[in-house]
Structure formats: structure tokens, C-alpha cells
């Protein structure tokens, strides 16, 4: 399989991420969510059980190019096929919130992330990347993790 060159004209000159990206996947329960429209914006309040507050750290993705590749694959395999049942927002602080309508879709998102990160870690170790020595966590704090500069 030949490697394709990934080009994005909006890449910063320093492609390295200062923080690890974290993902939180939430289920939007139709009975407990409320939508407000103030004429300018529409907002939806989502009721979340404490047990649903598990997140994932996108370990092994250390560049903006890597995050763009992750979302290209995520869009192709998860977001587009489930359009209307899934929304996501990526914050400038590296915090990603994905809101889904069904528990099964939440599991699909989690499985996709796990599989993608396994492949990234596998590719990195095959290429001799020694930057993946951190332990994996399933239950994360919601603050962005700072990676020490080399």
C-alpha cells in the first residue's frame, strides 16, 4: 500500500500540538434535553449522568496533521453515515465533545477511537517513534493535558 501525502493549506508552520486532545462522548436524551432559540442562536441543554463522564485521550496523535487525518477518517466512517444523529465540537484547548442520540452510536464512536489509536500506535512503533511511552487512561479529567516540551 502506498502512502499518500496529506496536504492542508491551513496548517500552521509549527505542526506539533502543545496539548493532547481529549474526547468526551455524550448521549443526548430526547426526554431530558431542552432546546432554546433566542432569535439569533439555538442552544440545546443536555442532561448527563455522572456515569457517562468517561473520556479518551488521543494518545499517539501529536500534530495538527494527525488530528486532521483522525477527523477525516472519523467523518468518513462515523459522522457522515450517522448524519443527524451525531454532532461534535473541537475546542481550541484540545477538548472534543461528541454528542450522539443512541447508546449504540456512543459505543461505535468509542470503538472507532480505540481502533484508530491502536493503528496510530502500531504505525508509530513500526516507524521507531519513541514519543508514545505514556500510559493509556480511560477515565480522564476534563482539563487538557500539557505535554512537556523537548
Average pLDDT of span 135-142: 44
Q: What mean pLDDT is reported for the chain?
A: 76
- Look at 100 and 29; give whichever has higher pLDDT: 100
Q: Closest Cα to residue 94, out of 135, 33, 140?
A: 140
- Look at 126 and 31; give whichever has higher pLDDT: 126
Average pLDDT of span 48-62: 76
pTM surpassing 0.75? no
Q: SS3 sequence, the chain?
A: CCCCCCCCCCCCCCCECCEECEEEEEECCCCCCEEEECCCCEEEECCCCHHHCCEEECCCCCEHHHHHHHHHHHHHHHHCCCCCCEEEEECCCCEEEEEECCHHHHHHHHHHHHHHHHHHHHHHHHCCCCCCCCCCCCCCCCCCEECCCC
pLDDT of residue 11: 55
How much of the chain, in percent, has pLDDT values that exceed 90?
Answer: 38
pLDDT in tens, 127-138: 765 444 343 444
Burial of 59 by CB count in 10 Å (0-12 exposed, 13-18 middle, 19+ buried)? buried
pLDDT of residue 131: 45
pLDDT of residue 22: 94
pLDDT of residue 90: 93
pLDDT of residue 127: 72
Which range has highest mean pLDDT (74-83, 91-100, 126-135)? 74-83
Amino acid at each position: 500500500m502506498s502512502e499518500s501525502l496529506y496536504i492542508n493549506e491551513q496548517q500552521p508552520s509549527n505542526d506539533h500540538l502543545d496539548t493532547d486532545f481529549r474526547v468526551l462522548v455524550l448521549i443526548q436524551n430526547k426526554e431530558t434535553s431542552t432546546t432554546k432559540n433566542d432569535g439569533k442562536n439555538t442552544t440545546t441543554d443536555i442532561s448527563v449522568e455522572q456515569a457517562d463522564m468517561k473520556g479518551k485521550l488521543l494518545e499517539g496523535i501529536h500534530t495538527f496533521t494527525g488530528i486532521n487525518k483522525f477527523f477525516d477518517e472519523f467523518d468518513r466512517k462515523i459522522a457522515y453515515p450517522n448524519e443527524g444523529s451525531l454532532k461534535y465540537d473541537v475546542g481550541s484547548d484540545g477538548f472534543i465533545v461528541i454528542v450522539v442520540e443512541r447508546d449504540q452510536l456512543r459505543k461505535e464512536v468509542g470503538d472507532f477511537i480505540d481502533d484508530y489509536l491502536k493503528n496510530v500506535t502500531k504505525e508509530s512503533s513500526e516507524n521507531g517513534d519513541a514519543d508514545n511511552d505514556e500510559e493509556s487512561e480511560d477515565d480522564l479529567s476534563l482539563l487538557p493535558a500539557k505535554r512537556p516540551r523537548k
